[in-house]
Structure 1
Amino acid sequence: MLRIFLLMLLTTGYVQAQEAPERIAGAMTVNVEQAKRLFDLGAVFIDVRPVSEWSWGHVHGAVHLELSERFAGLARPEWPREVPLVIYCDSDVCPRGAVASALAVKWGYKQVFYFREGYFAWMLQDYPQGKGLAGEVVAFSP
Structure 2
Amino acid sequence: MLRMLALSCLLIGPLGAWAEEAPLEVPGAMTINTYQAKRLYDLGAVFVDVRPSREWAWGHIEGALHLDLERGFTGLALDEWPRTVPLVVYCDSEVCPSGAEAVRRAVSWGYQQVFYFRQGYFAWMLADLPLSKGEVRGFATLNAQAH
Same fold (TM over 0.5): yes
Q: Is the 8 A contact 2:30 2:115 kept in 1?
A: yes
1:113 is paired with a residue whose SS is strand
1:125 counterpart residue number: 127
Q: Is the 8 A contact 1:82 1:111 kept in 2?
A: yes
Query: 1:125/1:48 Cα in 2 relative to 1: closer, same or farther (>3 Å)?
Result: same
TM-score (norm: length of structure 2) = 0.84
One-letter code aligned to 1:66: D
* Runs of 5+ consecutive residues of structure 2 not aligned to the other structure: 1-14
Deviations 1:3-47 (A, max 9, x none): xxxxxxxxxx9x933100000000000000000000000000000
Q: Distance in 1 between matches of 2:95 and 2:137?
A: 25
2:102 is paired with a residue whose SS is helix
2:88 counterpart residue number: 86
Question: Rg: which structure is higher?
Answer: 2
1:44 counterpart residue number: 46
Q: Is the 8 A contact 1:63 1:136 kept in 2?
A: no
Q: Is the 8 A contact 1:64 1:136 kept in 2?
A: no
* Runs of 5+ consecutive residues of structure 1 not aligned to the other structure: 1-12
Match of 2:62 among 54, 60, 63: 60
Runs of 4+ in 1 over 4 A off after TM superposition: none
Q: Distance in 2 between matches of 1:125 and 1:16?
A: 26
Q: Distance in 1 between matches of 2:55 and 2:71?
A: 18
**RMSD, aligned α-carbons:** 1.5
Q: CA deviation at 1:76?
A: 1.0
TM-score (norm: length of structure 1) = 0.86
1:134 counterpart residue number: 136
Q: Distance in 1 between matches of 2:29 and 2:38?
A: 17
| Identity, % of aligned positions | 60
Q: Distance in 1 between matches of 2:81 and 2:97?
A: 25
Aligned length, in residue pairs: 129
